[in-house]
Amino acid sequence: MGCGPSTVSGSDATGWKPHVGEEDENGDGRRAGFFRGGHAKSSGKRSNDEGQHTSPSLVHSYRCGGPNVSGGEVLPVLWYSDCTKAAWKKDAASLAQDDTVLLYRIVLPRPPYEVWAFYNDTTDIQFYVTIHFYPHPEQRRELLMPLGATTLVWLEDGSQNGMDAGCAVAKLVVGPTETALAVEGHMIAYRIIVDGFSTNFITQ
């Protein structure tokens, strides 16, 4: 199976579930966007002017044991229903089954900042996570650090892929059942993009 990309953008808030399609900047409209060749596009926008975590505590039902970090807040990033039927193997279960979460983001408090990690709750999908960080007074360069195998690149001048100077791009790979540390800092203005591919497809 394979799916992606999924996109989360806006200030940090919780209780958000991505939907198939792409939401405009005002959150008033949605335009569908699908990729051929075995994966779908899903994106959405989240915003909270105060940047606070506001959702109630959720009890997650993990299929592959759960993340290997404890504490913090666990937020769904990609759901089973975000993937089109074409994204799944022919013998896969029907999309009509109960929805499940494939990828989670874990927000761990490390006062005065926080640590992000991603947990892959699948056995056969490899996720490629890209995080775009946008200029913000409280999201300074010296307060943002990559963790583990994550790479972080700052755009010094000009623009790249619609991003202006002063933005940063973090990238990491989260393998099946893996919990991968991503970044540490005060994350305020960001966008998360996820691509997922079947491990069988990758090895072909």
Say if residue 74's pLDDT is above 90: yes
The rounded mean pLDDT for the chain is 69
How high is the pLDDT of residue 58?
58
**pLDDT value, residue 15:** 30
pLDDT in the model for residue 80: 77
Looking only at the bridges linking them, the beta strands covering 42-43 and 3-11 are: parallel
**1 pLDDT higher than 80:** no
Specify the pLDDT at position 61. Answer: 85
Average pLDDT over residues 78-100: 56
CATH superfamily label, 3-203: Golgi alpha-mannosidase II (2.60.40.1180)
Instruction: Locate the domains of the chain by residue range.
Output: 3-203
Is pLDDT at 90 greater than 70 in this prediction? no
State the pLDDT at residue 57: 46
**For residue 131, is pLDDT > 90?**
yes
What is the per-residue pLDDT across 22-56, written as a single tens digit (0 to 9) for each? 222 223 332 222 222 233 333 333 333 333 333 44
Closest CA to 4 of 37, 30, 39, 35: 39
Instruction: Tell me which of 53 and 79 has the higher pLDDT.
Output: 79
Write the pLDDT tens digit of every residue in 137-192: 878 788 899 999 999 998 875 555 555 667 899 999 999 999 999 999 988 899 99
- φ, ψ of residue 199 to 5 degrees: the values are -65, -30
| pTM of structure | 0.68
> Is 94's pLDDT higher than 60?
no
Instruction: Give the residue-averaged pLDDT of 83-97.
Output: 46
SS3 labels along the chain:
CCEEEEEEEEECCCCCCCCEEEECCCCCCEECCECCCCCECEECCCCCCCCCCCCCCCCCCCCCCCCCCCCCEEEEEEEHHHCCHHHCCCCCCCCCCCCCEEEEEEEEEECCEEEEEEEECCCCEEEEEEEEECCCCCCCHHHEEECCCCEEEECCCCEECCEECCCEEEEEEECCCCEEEEEEECCCEEEEEEEEEEHHHHHC
Please give the pLDDT value at position 54.
Answer: 36
Strand duo 42-43 + 30-31: pairing: unpaired
Lowest mean pLDDT among 35-49, 90-104, 126-140: 35-49
Higher model confidence: residue 23 or residue 57?
57
Half-sphere exposure of 201 (CA within 13 A, CB side): 16
pLDDT tens digit sequence for 190-199: 999 999 888 8
